[in-house]
């Protein structure tokens, strides 16, 4: 009897997981198939193209500024990734390892700041960047993305370092290393999994964000992919849905490659960094 109950339980669990997998994967398969379908309508597209074609990809590069949008987004993503790793890695180390006046207040401040999304201050950001001449500049997006994720990523890195023994630092100090040398030579290699997680998540942000680029970037040659692709289907006259699907498939490429090669470090960094004590 117990064996039958166990079989029923596991069957139900696997059926539920299968339904969830289908619900998640089918839209992805359908949009990939639409990219290779003929015509311009998604309504007539099929998950498995009847007559596969690369025409949508060719049109995407010949009739739009897709290459410029792609390079703009890639540049912003790489700069944002580098800036975020440097800033949050350093701040996480400082708050986790060092003792200084105002540390508790600083931790409380960044804890409160991480509760507010960056788009809540759009008007203030617009006025600030207008005064500094940063409107319509990709650098503005790097600043917002990098600074906006500092609170959350700092807590994540701090939680990760709480699981790293202080004896590593003490041994380095005994050998004559100062705090900077200890951080660079001892702690940074240990932080690789959590910094990999920060790098990948920050690399992803510009690829999928629409609100900030549409608000701060106006020139066609400086737009990001999210804004450029949206304009392909925005309005009654724009019905380039299969071309939009082709562009979306190419957007997913860099992120999928990063996840494929770094999944081990992503899981390790996320699970260890979950401790925010």
247 part of a folded domain:
yes
- When pLDDT is averaged across residues 223-235 and rounded to a whole number, the result is 85
Number of Cβ atoms within 10 Å of the Cβ of 136: 13
- 220 with 233: CB under 8 angstroms? no
100 part of a folded domain:
yes
- 211 with 6: CB under 8 angstroms? no
Residues 243-257: pLDDT tens digits? Answer: 888 888 888 877 788
49 part of a folded domain:
no
235 band by pLDDT with thresholds 50, 70 and 90:
low
10: pLDDT strictly greater than 60: yes
Query: Which residue reads 């800033």 in tokens?
Result: 87
114 part of a folded domain:
yes
Could you tell me which of 64, 62, 40 has the C-alpha nearest to residue 53?
A: 40
277 band by pLDDT with thresholds 50, 70 and 90:
very low
3-state helix, strand, coil in the chain (%, to 5): 75, 0, 25
Residues 6+ apart with CB under 8 A from 235: none
For the chain, the domain total comes to: 1
39 band by pLDDT with thresholds 50, 70 and 90:
confident
Which of 4-13, 14-23, 254-263 is most confident?
Answer: 14-23
- When pLDDT is averaged across residues 158-172 and rounded to a whole number, the result is 85
43 band by pLDDT with thresholds 50, 70 and 90:
low
Residues 95-146: pLDDT tens digits? Answer: 888 888 888 888 888 778 777 766 677 888 888 888 888 888 888 899 888 8
C-alpha 99, offset from chain centre: 32
22 part of a folded domain:
no
**Whole-model pTM?**
0.81
Query: What percent of the chain has pLDDT above 90?
Result: 10
How does the average pLDDT of the chain come out, rounded?
83
- Res 270: pLDDT: 61
- Res 238: pLDDT: 63
Residues 196-211: pLDDT tens digits? Answer: 888 888 998 898 888 8
Considering only residues 30 and 202, tell me which one the structure prediction assigns the higher pLDDT.
202
- When pLDDT is averaged across residues 18-22 and rounded to a whole number, the result is 90
54 part of a folded domain:
no
Q: What is the CATH number for 242? A: 1.10.3720.10
Residues 6+ apart with CB under 8 A from 247: 60, 66, 225, 228, 229, 232
Could you tell me which of 72, 80, 65, 60 has the C-alpha nearest to residue 250?
A: 60
- The DSSP-derived string for 211-257 is HHHHHH---GGG--HHHHHHHHHSSSS---HHHHHHHHHHHHHHHHH
Residues 6+ apart with CB under 8 A from 77: 202, 203, 204, 205, 206, 207, 254
The whole domain housing 67 covers 59-272
72 band by pLDDT with thresholds 50, 70 and 90:
very high
219 part of a folded domain:
yes
């Amino acid at each position: 009897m117990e064996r039958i109950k166990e079989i029923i339980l596991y069957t139900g669990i696997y059926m539920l997981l299968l339904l969830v997998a289908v619900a998640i994967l089918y839209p992805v398969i359908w949009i990939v198939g639409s990219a290779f379908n003929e015509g311009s309508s998604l309504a007539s597209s099929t998950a498995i193209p009847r007559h596969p074609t690369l025409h949508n990809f060719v049109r995407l590069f010949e009739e739009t500024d897709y290459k410029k949008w792609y390079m703009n987004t890639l540049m912003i993503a790489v700069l944002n990734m580098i800036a975020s790793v440097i800033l949050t890695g350093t701040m996480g180390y400082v708050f986790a390892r060092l003792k200084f006046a105002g540390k508790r207040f600083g931790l409380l401040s960044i804890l409160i700041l991480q509760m507010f999304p960056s788009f809540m201050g759009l008007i203030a950001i617009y006025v600030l960047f207008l005064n500094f001449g940063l409107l319509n500049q990709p650098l503005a997006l790097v600043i917002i993305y990098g600074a906006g994720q500092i609170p959350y990523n700092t807590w994540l890195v701090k939680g990760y370092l709480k699981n790293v023994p202080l004896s590593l630092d003490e041994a380095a100090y005994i050998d004559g290393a100062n705090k900077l040398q200890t951080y660079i030579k001892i702690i940074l290699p240990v932080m690789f999994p959590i910094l990999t997680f920060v790098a990948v998540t920050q690399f992803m942000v510009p690829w999928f964000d629409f609100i900030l680029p549409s608000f701060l970037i106006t020139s066609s040659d400086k737009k990001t992919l999210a804004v450029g692709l949206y304009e392909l289907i925005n309005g009654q006259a724009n019905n380039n849905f299969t071309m939009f699907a082709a562009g979306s498939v190419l957007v997913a490429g860099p992120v999928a490659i990063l996840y494929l090669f770094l999944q081990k470090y992503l899981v390790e960094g996320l699970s260890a960094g979950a401790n925010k004590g």
